[in-house]
Each structure stands twice: as structure tokens, then as C-alpha cells.
């Protein structure tokens, strides 16, 4: 495990294996941001020339390594491109990405210091988050020869080292990064080792460790309670479904937020079977549930004065003789009936049950997180989540939190006709789980979910099918596999409410 601290040490004299600095693109050359003055002096005032001579352009994500000013006695210099900053101001996401890039470039270094600009506490938090997230590795299934050790001691060099706000920012970065690492671990674990019961057991253990109350409904309790959506999706699997409920209730909460997460531990598509390639990566179909649990624990650890009630609807969607069939009708929790015309549109079924249950708690705002539709990936790509809501105010509140947290999100509409199509597409039930049309899939899914939210409760749906899992190479602080997307947004949402 890496540890991270703040220090007022001089960048040129700090005892460490590597020092990460930023390089800003300026016209046809590069310049150095604040915080690198002593290092520049150590190179005889010619650090820009040295970097330019090695081909540094300041392009975002570019890495240039320079031997220390005293070969064999000083730290290796890792210069990371920050891109252009026309107004002289760097965004916190630039710093978060640079820190992640730098710590990955350090590879086997046992200690890394970050001499990136820290004009305020938010920049300190961004650098710390990027460093901690960038050093993450998932080696549980690798042989000893294949595993690598990430840098153990991380230091953010800043004049704010003794500042109260900076210390609080560092704590939030540590807690949030820890939660994201747990979410990434869950998402990266093979589905054979993380079925719904396994996931529930892990959530119970985590809740006990950090004082969050966790309740689990097993298949018998789900049947007794009438959770037809969760049971219908899970009935084809040898691994029965679960509904996990977490509660965090501080003294005198300023608001009550409810989180709901889709937790399909593996999605084969059911009898509406996916293609072989379509199943690859479907262990990540529980990323929404993992994120809401991780965020809830982080909020509790930070002691934020916000009441949180969280539901993670867990099931494994498998084909078998007992699996739900296209044309089956499920009676959802609360009594609404749904004709299942595509068993691969299963996430909305488990979420429907959970949204009705969450509404009964009468929160001020419900936010659900789900790897729900490939249609959203088609619309927004793999880095941006779609945000849908029943009110503009609620949607903007969550999108603003995402922007502040550095997570890419874009608002999308829920056209009224989508719900009408779901209702008319079934001739035997209250609504179908698909419209029968090949377009607007993400919008139709959002319309379906919205019909299960009680009237008068603000609700936001985040379709994270793209950014929840990275099946490409490492970039910035994002590694291949689970990303932990939306944890930072949910924590920021709670923090901004307090």
C-alpha cells in the first residue's frame, strides 16, 4: 500500500527516488509552472533547454525523463506535459492526470515526490488523488513473477503542507482513492469469484469495518417481499440474487440522499444470449453497485453530515431451464407488471425493484448508477457518462458535482414518448422492458427507470456503460479494467450538500 504525505521540502533537495513536475505548452516551446524554481536553478537555469533538447513539447500526457542535476545523488526528474494553459490557470483535472501519469512513469521507484502547482487545497486533493489512483494495480491473479510493486511513499510538495484545508483535502483524497481501489478490485475480480452472495458478504465486511449498517435480503426474503424484477433476472442462475441495503445516518443530517446501483455480477444476456465477444467484460456489469457501495463507505469515513441510504441490486443473468423467457411477465416490487421481451435488458428490471424500495425511504434525491446500455456508449463514447433526470435542477446538481470531481458527464433527455412506447409495446402487462425500436435505447431505458420512482422525489440516472470499465491501455490515473467511475461524483455530491 502506498502512503501519501504533504511536505514543504524544496523540490531540488527532497530525499526521494523521483520528482514529478509539470511542463506547460507555450507557443512553439515549453515553459515551467510555479513550484519548479529551485529545480530550474539546480540545472543552472537551463531546465527548459534541457527538456526541449530531449523533445519535450508540453503535450498533455507526454513524459520526459531527465537524470538528476547531480548524477547518482539526486532524484530522477519526470516531466509530464500539462498541455496549454492560455490564461495561465491549470484545471484540477490536468493536475490529477499529470500526477497519475507521473507515478506510473516512476514504475519501480520506491518513493515519488510531486512538485506540481498547488495554489489551493483543491489542487492538493487533485494531485493526491491522481497519484494514489495512478499507482493502483490488480495483481491478485498474477504469479509472483508477473506482479509489480507500485511506489510506496508518495509526497505532495506544497507551501500549503501545514494548511488546515490542504490537510482535509489530503484526507478526502486518501479516503476516496481507497474507495475507488475497492471498487476497482470488485469489478476486476472474475465472476466465478464474485457472485451475488460473495458480493454481499464483502459489503457486510466493509460496512462492519467502517461503521456502516448493512442489511442483505437473500432469495427467500426477496420472494417474501415481492421483488419480482431481481428474482426474475436471477432465476436462471445457480447463484441466487441479493439486495444489499446500506445506511449511514449522522447526527443532524442536512439532507438525505439515496443511491441505487445495478449489480449484475455476470451478464450472459440470459436466453436472449449475447455474442461470444459481447460477453467479454461482462464481469463489469456490477460496476454501478460497486460504485454506490464504495461511495457510501467513503462518505461515512469522511463523516459528512448527509444521510445516505443505498441499494445494490445483485443478480447473475444466465441462460438455463429455469431462466426467464421472452414474453414472461414479472410482477415488480410495488405491484407493477413488466413483460420481458428481451432478457438482455435486465439491468432495468433489478433497478426497478430497487428504485421503488428507495422511494419508500423518502429521500430528497435518488441517484442510480448503472452500466445500462450500449446505446449510451454509441452516443457518448467510452469516457463520458450520460445523465438523465426527472427535473433539470436535480440533473444539473449531479452534473455540476461530476465536473467538480473531474468525471466526464453529459446531460441527455427522457422524451415523454419513450414511456408511451414501453407501455404500448406490451399487450399484456403495464409496460415492456424494451420499445422494440433499434434507436434511442439509452433514452428508453431511462424512461423505464423513471416510471419506478415515486412522484415528488427528485431522481437522476447515470448510464456509465462507457467509463466504468477501461478495456484499453493505461492513461493518466486510469488503468486497464475497472475505473471506479462515479465514486468521486457521489462523494462530491454529498460534500457539496454539506
Active-site annotation, residues: 274, 348
Position of cell 487533485?
A: 126
Under 8 Å between Cβ of 496 and 365: no
| Residue 12 CB partners (closer than 8 Å, separation 6+) | 38, 39, 41, 42, 69, 74
Cell 460534500 locates to 495
DSSP secondary structure letters along 230-247 = HHHHHTTSSS--EEEEEE
- Separation of alpha carbons 68 and 408, rounded Å: 36
Query: Distance from CA of residue 285 to its chain's centroid?
Result: 13
Q: Is 438 exposed, middle or buried (0-12, 13-18, 19+ CB in 10 A)?
A: exposed
Cell numbers 542535476 correspond to 69
Q: What is the DSSP letter of 482?
A: E
Q: What's the rounded Cα separation, in Å, for the pair 163 and 167?
A: 6
Give the three-class secondary structure for 162: coil
Look at the chain and count its residues: 498
Do the bridges between strand 153-157 and strand 307-317 make them parallel or antiparallel, or are there none, so unpaired? unpaired
Residues 482 and 284: beta-carbon distance below 8 Å: yes
Q: Are 414 and 388 in contact (CB under 8 A)?
A: yes
Do 56 and 79 form a contact (C-beta atoms < 8 A)? yes
Distance set, CA 408 to CA 224, 250, 290, 463, 486 (Å) = 40, 30, 19, 12, 9
Q: Which of 128, 11, 30, 6 is nearest to 80 (CA)?
A: 30
Q: Cα–Cα–Cα angle for 484, 382, 444, nearest 5°?
A: 95
The CA distance from 486 to 462, in Å, is 9
Sign of CA dihedral 328, 413, 376, 389: negative
Task: Supply the angle between the helices 164-188 and 121-134 in degrees, to the nearest 10.
Answer: 30
Q: List 431's β-bridge partners, or say none.
A: 338
Rg for the chain, CA atoms, rounded: 24
| Residue 104: all three cell numbers together | 506510473
Amino acid at each position: 500500500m502506498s502512503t501519501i504525505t504533504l511536505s514543504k521540502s524544496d523540490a531540488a533537495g527532497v530525499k526521494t527516488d523521483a520528482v514529478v513536475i509539470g511542463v506547460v505548452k507555450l507557443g512553439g516551446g515549453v515553459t515551467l509552472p510555479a513550484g519548479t524554481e529551485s529545480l530550474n536553478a539546480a540545472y543552472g537555469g537551463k531546465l527548459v533547454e534541457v527538456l526541449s533538447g530531449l523533445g519535450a513539447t508540453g503535450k498533455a500526457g507526454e513524459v520526459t525523463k531527465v537524470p538528476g542535476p547531480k548524477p547518482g545523488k539526486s532524484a530522477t526528474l519526470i516531466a509530464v506535459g500539462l498541455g496549454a494553459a492560455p490564461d495561465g490557470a491549470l484545471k484540477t483535472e490536468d493536475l490529477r492526470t499529470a500526477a497519475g501519469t507521473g507515478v506510473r512513469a516512476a514504475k519501480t521507484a520506491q518513493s515519488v515526490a510531486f512538485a506540481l502547482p498547488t495554489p489551493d487545497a483543491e489542487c492538493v486533493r487533485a494531485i493526491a488523488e491522481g497519484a494514489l489512483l495512478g499507482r493502483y494495480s490488480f495483481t491478485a491473479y498474477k504469479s509472483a513473477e508477473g506482479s509489480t510493486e507500485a511506489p510506496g511513499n508518495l509526497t505532495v510538495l506544497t507551501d500549503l503542507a501545514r494548511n488546515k484545508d490542504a490537510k482535509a483535502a489530503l484526507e478526502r483524497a486518501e479516503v476516496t482513492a481507497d474507495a475507488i481501489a475497492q471498487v476497482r478490485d470488485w469489478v476486476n475480480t472474475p465472476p466465478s469469484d464474485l457472485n451475488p452472495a460473495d458480493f454481499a458478504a464483502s459489503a457486510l465486511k466493509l460496512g462492519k469495518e467502517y461503521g456502516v449498517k448493512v442489511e442483505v435480503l437473500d432469495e427467500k426474503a426477496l420472494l417474501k417481499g415481492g421483488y419480482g424484477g431481481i428474482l426474475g433476472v436471477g432465476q436462471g442462475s445457480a447463484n441466487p440474487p441479493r439486495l444489499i441495503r446500506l445506511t449511514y445516518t449522522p447526527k443532524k443530517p442536512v439532507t438525505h440522499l439515496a443511491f441505487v446501483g445495478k449489480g449484475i455480477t455476470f451478464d450472459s444476456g440470459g436466453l436472449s444470449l449475447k455474442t461470444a465477444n459481447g460477453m467479454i467484460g461482462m464481469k463489469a456489469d456490477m460496476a454501478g453497485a460497486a460504485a454506490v457501495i464504495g461511495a457510501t463507505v467513503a462518505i461515512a469515513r469522511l463523516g459528512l453530515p448527509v444521510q445516505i441510504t443505498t441499494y445494490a441490486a445483485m443478480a447473475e443473468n444466465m441462460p438455463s431451464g429455469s431462466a426467464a423467457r421472452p414474453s414472461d411477465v414479472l410482477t415488480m416490487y410495488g405491484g407493477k407488471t413488466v413483460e420481458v421481451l428481451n432478457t438482455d435488458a435486465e439491468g432495468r428490471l433489478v433497478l426497478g425493484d430497487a428504485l421503488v424500495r428507495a422511494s419508500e425511504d423518502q429521500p430528497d434525491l435518488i441517484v442510480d448508477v448503472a452500466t445500462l446500455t450500449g446505446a449510451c456508449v454509441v452516443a457518448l463514447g467510452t469516457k463520458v457518462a450520460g445523465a438523465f433526470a426527472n427535473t433539470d435542477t436535480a440533473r444539473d446538481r449531479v452534473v455540476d458535482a461530476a465536473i467538480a470531481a473531474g468525471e466526464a458527464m453529459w446531460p441527455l433527455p427522457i422524451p415523454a414518448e419513450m414511456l408511451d412506447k414501453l407501455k404500448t409495446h406490451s399487450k399484456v402487462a403495464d409496460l415492456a422492458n424494451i420499445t422494440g425500436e433499434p434507436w434511442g435505447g439509452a433514452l428508453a431505458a431511462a424512461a423505464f427507470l423513471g416510471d419506478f420512482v415515486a412522484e415528488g422525489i427528485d431522481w437522476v440516472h447515470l448510464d456509465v456503460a462507457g467509463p466504468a470499465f477501461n478495456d484499453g491501455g493505461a492513461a493518466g490515473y486510469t488503468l486497464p479494467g475497472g475505473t471506479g467511475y462515479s465514486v468521486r461524483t457521489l462523494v462530491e455530491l454529498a460534500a457539496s450538500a454539506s
